[in-house]
Structure 1
């Protein structure tokens, strides 16, 4: 199993790392540490507590955006934690800081950038905060806009930073509506457009190519939130609309991607990239005690966060060394497997009279509703299916999505701005492709138990 691989790799590498410091005099602590038996007792209790989790690592977990780290990432992270470096400054993370620079450079190259400023963060939220903070400095007094299906934290970040924010309507596939965006742009008050490549609700891909064309007529910055979908830049079998969007991602002003989603990394590992390195001037500060051993740029000088685990960078570097970020390479093929799994489940749903299919998946996320005459009944049935599937160890997710995802004829008389609770699945593990039939069998059994004949 992958977990066994990680433990084996770690146990082989640790003695070699310890040997590198064997010339130092013994430094046994003067105070007596806790006994092995005491620590074992704590870990025994912890093991029982941790068992109260969903099996996020298993293909039958097909709910939220949870993907197990690669064994090399687990082993590298644990190895670095033996030293516990801090990538705020070279003083605290000399080797791991260089590994971060190299790993981030490879991510930037994936998007087609040779010149960039970037670093790792604790996750996509903080990475997006930095992107919008810089945008606010470059276009002060201007508004930030994002699709109504963009991540909710963009509006929250705008509030934190004191920046005006506006939601833009979405189309029936969950993507930013271009006519609504252009109406907002005509006011001249928009400074930054947040373009989402892979919404968290349904994996929708905003039409970046067309939004870039609008930038020719209206002056604004483009920030691409690709926290979820960024790595799909490496995949060649996307649909035509998504492919056109990804083909022009290099024209954005800033990009966020989360290696702890599709990048096979432990939490938390986000990444922020700017195409203009000169934005580093906004981070400038004085710290008379932190930077003194090197004249090189410290990562703390281009980051709003201070202490950051060097183990995060180490794990990412090791994973990318093993699985390079090459188009249609081994890593990219894993993404393609997840997308193929989502399309196969979608086609089964589309052909089943017990369901209303949502938009065709653009990445590896799909949403669907249980067939019923009213929104309320459909929502109730979705919750029932969710519970019944879990009893069979199939773990899905629930989501409230706009009714326009399903077409106006689905629930006649439903309010145009209404929402329905539906089922949602994130098939982001490569193994999901081989588990489609098992997933479908359990889902079909759950809906058969939940649904009443008269609702068909």
Structure 2
């Protein structure tokens, strides 16, 4: 993949397109000479050096990685035109692309009829899903896993809804007995289930939540922002295959959120919200005196809470899907590599004498902690913090993150560790780059060395 060559083709294509409208010259007020640009750009690139190497397999910290070159080229090419996908006259080509990629996402999850669009983030996508939930069940709140992303409690506050955290089991999944207790109160109108929590990558039992919610007349929203693309591995052969039941059940949920800027190889920000019933579009109805006039066809801004949205995001995702479609043989191969990496590292940790697995990875997130003596939460927390800090220094750095595990959650998994504190940090690694598969041994050896000195 020659990114420089692809970028050259991008600028050439836009220049050829612009030339068809006749000659023009940019206004003198916009001109900047090369010397001024060179000086500013040197300062700019110097500032950008203050980043972690998200591209490198030794970076296994947060959910960060560069987009695929196809997404970069697709975004840049459309950005040079700068369409706005709010109204059709703002971006007719990219609006069509957005509908096509949203239809591909809906098909990936098993939706037939659907209503949906791209958003600037999973946070905004979840806000829209909860907004519709509020309109359908006014006065009733939202139940979600205690390990769900904090956005749900925040968005409930924004929307004036009550939020009801539900305890999790020893694998970080929503506890069904606790959920039923909450539903019996009659105060909940929607249950949020996660197919991949952002902390542990835990997958809630969607197939078991759906009938429980139906008995109580409650909607189900699937927060698949992080793990949604793993549906491509449901029922797959080999160690990377996932149990199909929760993933197949997603097609029966009322709404879904997924973030292509995570496993969809896109730049920030690119989220998506999907509704199974297109009739929920009625809650978005509004009027604008200067938009929506070029076509009687539904404009994307008429089914979105956001107004201006970059058409470049739709273009980037469209071009990526043309080359790496959301199928088991397309993007599924990318996710399979990360999943194999996580399972391989988990095996190495289980065989280690200085590291302990916090819990077995369900997707591509690995959690572990240093074996300390005496085994206390305080000792685990201090040793984890030291490994995190020391790992980022020296000639062979490794970049991790931490997850704060509460005393009850820790005790459910490791009862032999003395709970002398309310919580302890454990080491957390996100192996979402397929290149991680070839670097697991290096990562493990480096963390082991750090653990021996911690």
Same-fold call, TM cutoff 0.5: yes
SS in 2 for 1:187: coil
Contact kept in structure 1, 2:67 and 2:267, CA below 8 Å: yes
Find 2:429's aligned residue among 399, 403, 425.
Answer: 425
Question: Kindly tell me: are residues 92 and 240 of structure 1, through their superposed partners in 2, closer, same or farther at Cα, counting changes over 3 Å?
Answer: closer
**d(CA) in 1 for partners of 2:20 and 2:353?**
71
Which residue of 2 is the match for residue 375 of structure 1?
377
Residues 45-444 of structure 1 aligned to structure 2 (within 5 Å): 45-235=43-233, 236=236, 242-326=243-327, 328-372=328-372, 373-391=375-393, 392-403=396-407, 404-405=409-410, 407-414=413-420, 418-444=422-448
* 3-state SS, counterpart of residue 14 of structure 1: helix
Change (3 A) 1:229 1:405: farther
Partner of 1:453: none
Structure 1 vs Structure 2 CA RMSD: 1.5
Looking at structure 2, the residues matched to 189 and 436 of structure 1 have their Cα atoms a distance apart, in angstroms, of: 46
Once residues 409 and 101 of structure 1 are traced to their aligned partners in structure 2, the CA distance between those partners, rounded to angstroms, is 50
Q: What is the distance in 2 between the residues matched to 1:285 and 1:169? A: 39
More moved, 290-299 vs 100-109: 290-299
Greater displacement, 215-224 / 399-408: 399-408
CA contact (8 A) 2:378 2:420 kept: no
- Contact 1:100/1:314, CA 8 A, preserved across alignment: yes
Tell whether the 8 Å contact from 2:342 to 2:365 is kept in structure 1 after alignment.
yes
Q: CA, structure 1 residues 129+83, in 2 after alignment: closer, same or farther (shift >3 Å)?
A: same
Of 18-27 and 148-157, the range deviating more from structure 2: 18-27
**Cα distance between partner residues in 1 of 2:18 and 2:241:** 54
Change (3 A) 1:21 1:29: closer
Q: Single out whichever of 248-257 and 37-46 deviates more from structure 2.
A: 37-46
Deviation at 1:333, TM superposition (A): 1.1
Deviates more, 1:99-108 or 1:7-16: 7-16
Is the 1:61–1:394 contact (alpha carbons within 8 Å) kept by the matching residues of 2? Answer: yes
- Kept in 2, the 8 Å contact 1:257–1:270? The answer is yes
Q: Is the 8 A contact 1:173 1:405 kept in 2?
A: no
TM-score scaled by structure 2?
0.95
Q: Could you tell me which runs of 5 or more consecutive residues in structure 2 were left unpaired when the two chains were aligned.
A: none
Task: Determine the C-alpha separation between the residues in 2 that align with 1:13 and 1:188.
Answer: 55
Q: Partners of 1:330 and 1:207 in 2: how far apart?
A: 26
SS at match of 1:105: helix
Q: Which moved more, 1:360-369 or 1:32-41?
A: 32-41
Distance in 1, matches of 2:27 and 2:219, equals 58
Q: Which runs of 4+ in 1 moved over 4 A?
A: 237-242
